[in-house]
Homo-oligomer: A and B are copies of this chain.
């Protein structure tokens, strides 16, 4: 979905304010150039203080003020936190999870399949939509927020799961075979005998239940989208705020939602991206999160939430907030909304600070938003709807992530660590990547396909990858790929399953590396092998690296294979990112792709804007000036308006950037 202009704004909670200052806030937003607020999500108890009693006072005031100041509005459905009266009336709304039944208190504690919850949520949404349907400045709707299944696993959910299995497996014995339920007498001989799923130790059955829980999320958001559809105008979009695997910040692929499937119900996907800052600001999370957002519908995306001051250690140095803003835009974001406008004075997120601190006064963060707003007003239309063309696609899979939760690679290396190991290395080398689903059928759009640890895959997926290579694609894949099927059943033939021909390598054994290092002529060092190693036996493949070890030295570690029109590179073990850079450089040379002159901390990102012009961002994630000399053509530096000639050097200041237009 194309946008007319970049959206720039913040989540705004008039309900949480310690005193009335709506007009003051709107004036401050006007001054920093904000053009949108995101409101209403999580405020059910304010909108419906008692069963069937609706009170739109706060909403009306916010909508009125926004209209008065020419600010657009995104309305979030308020369903991810339930009011006290509803739980008192229907305690069954609280999800029963692996840890028992939830207590009232936190958000996201409900059974999203519960009929009472659904009935009341639908009435709430309909009342809300009825109430606001004539408001011109409402530009779109966010369904719920960061929806998950919250591990709902009560009797009703388990009954639905059995029903789901019955549809998949006409014959229960097929299911027993697919999941290997004979093991430890777990066999289920009639559907009536189905035990409480929460106790299962069978990875296949357990992973299937987690997949089913992801489907509940998809269906829930589909249901909400259909309700909104009854009311919305054609020009109003539907979005959702997708988030990531959380490791104190947005780290990897979201385990609990199949976002690719679920984004089908959105006009444009939204994401929230939180990341380290200060000395740890690298732009990697923003780029990774953006690649996911961009991949969900192969389109631009909205940043519906990102940090301004954020959590304690994220307070940005001067300049960093602005650098972060352009980091998002250079990945194809069409919006930049802070969470949130003002710091909150009570409850749980008091120290997840907004643009304004608790004093609600101007501060250096706010002053930086003024600069950003002014620049967006000036050059934003050259930056919106940026189309990106990447040589590399990284293929990800919820099923593999889940599979490697049941059967971990090691105590510390999870699926998303492998994804980020690859992504971040490309990032440092200034090779931009798309992120695609394992269901993607347009692999041929990319010269290079990267497949990290795709532990669980259906045969057809692996065959699709094989065909991609045969037709001239270049595959880079890792240990653990092509090991188990879609039911997490390990293949009973040669490993890597199906792909061994294309990869030109097989293995029968793997172990935990202890005092093992990697050696190979293409490597600049002999790094330690850690976490995992497979004892590779090359068939047709060339050996790019071997193990240094008295006993494992005879086995290959990294191989490269020409296969029909393409090539396939296999990383049989885990090691440091610098060495991975060596291997990628070698691969790029082999397959004739160009390498950037620059590397992290100077990050180069580019795309084509609505005018068909190439836009090049050079972003400096460091404390030092970096000098940049470009060798072809005239460009305009958009922020300064200065024209730069061929061969002329420009300086990219610390925590700063330049934007060049051809």
Residues of A with Cβ closer than 8 Å to B?
13, 15-16, 18-19, 42-46, 49-50, 78, 81-85, 87-88, 102-107, 109, 177, 179-190, 192-196, 198-204, 278-279, 309, 312-315, 317-318, 343-351, 357-361, 363-365, 407, 487-495, 508-512, 514-515, 550-551, 623
Contacts and interface: CB of A to CB of B under 8 A. Distances in A.
Given A49-B187, A106-B201, 13 more contacts: A16-B180, A18-B492, A83-B185, A84-B194, A85-B193, A180-B345, A278-B551, A312-B510, A314-B511, A350-B490, A351-B407, A359-B495, A363-B509
8 contacts: A42-B184, A45-B189, A49-B187, A105-B199, A106-B201, A183-B349, A204-B347, A313-B514
A185 B169 CA distance: 42
Contacts of A15: 182
A317 B551 contact: yes
B494 A359 contact: yes
B88 A193 contact: yes
A487 B345 CA distance: 10
A346 B202 contact: yes
Nearest to A14: B182
A545 to B, nearest CB: 20
Contacts of A81: 184-186
B490 A50 contact: no
B347 A492 contact: no
Given A88-B192, A350-B407, A512 B313 contact: yes
Name A's interface SS: loop
B50 A189 contact: yes
B346 A180 contact: yes
A490 B347 CA distance: 10
A432 B88 CA distance: 54
A351 B455 CA distance: 14
Nearest to A198: B103
Given A185-B81, A201-B105, A492 B360 contact: yes
Contact of A508 (B50, B361, B493): B361
A359 B535 CA distance: 14
A98 B295 CA distance: 43
Given A189-B85, A358-B492, A494-B359, A278 B180 contact: no
Most chain B beta-carbon neighbours within 10 Å: one of A88, A102, A407: A88
Most chain B beta-carbon neighbours within 10 Å: one of A49, A50, A84, A489: A84
A348 B83 contact: no
A509 B309 contact: yes
A201 B347 contact: yes
Nearest to A105: B199
A248 to B, nearest CB: 11
B82 A185 contact: yes
A51 to B, nearest CB: 10
A153 to B, nearest CB: 11
Given A83-B187, A489-B18, A490-B358, A550 B623 contact: yes
Contact of A104 (B87, B199, B314): B199
Sorted nearest first, the 5 A-B pairs with minimum C-beta distance are A180-B346, A103-B199, A105-B199, A104-B195, A45-B187
Nearest to A47: B185
A601 to B, nearest CB: 15
Contact of A348 (B87, B203, B550): B203
A515 B280 CA distance: 12
Given A105-B199, A107-B184, A50 B190 contact: yes
Contacts of A278: 511, 514, 551
A13 B109 CA distance: 43
A190 B83 CA distance: 12
A277 B177 CA distance: 33
A19 B193 contact: no
A363 to B, nearest CB: 4
Contacts of A105: 186, 195-196, 198-202
Most chain B beta-carbon neighbours within 10 Å: one of A187, A489, A510: A187
A162 B194 CA distance: 36
A347 B85 contact: no
A147 to B, nearest CB: 15
Contacts of A357: 495, 508-509
A180 B347 contact: yes
Given A85-B189, A189-B45, A189-B85, A492 B345 contact: yes
Contacts of A184: 42, 81, 106-107, 347-348
